[in-house]
Amino acid sequence: MARSRSGKRHDTGRTITTKSVFGSHEDMVVDHTSFDLTLKENEVLCQDGDRYYVTTRDRLDNGMADSRRYSGKGVEVDG
């Protein structure tokens, strides 16, 4: 990653309130039934700040980045 001459990284102003920047975690899972969503048996609805996304259970707390979280493709929910 390229750095500026001052050695400082660019800060986007977004505050991270989860355990990691790109991973999905069990504490991010929300009840999808309150949003009238139908998910497959292995899928869960997660909340990342004010955005919701669907991912699979095997991506929770596995120490790896979750492409469904960082892709920016969220789920529109009413609630």
- Spell out where 1-79 has E strands: 29-30, 43-48, 51-56
66-76, pLDDT tens digit by residue?
A: 999 888 778 88
Structural domain spans, the chain:
26-70
Rounded to two decimals, what is the model's pTM? Answer: 0.74
Which pLDDT score, from 0 to 100, does residue 5 have? 59
Confidence of residue 15 (pLDDT cuts 50, 70, 90): low
Which pLDDT score, from 0 to 100, does residue 27 have? 94
CA distance 17 to 49: 7
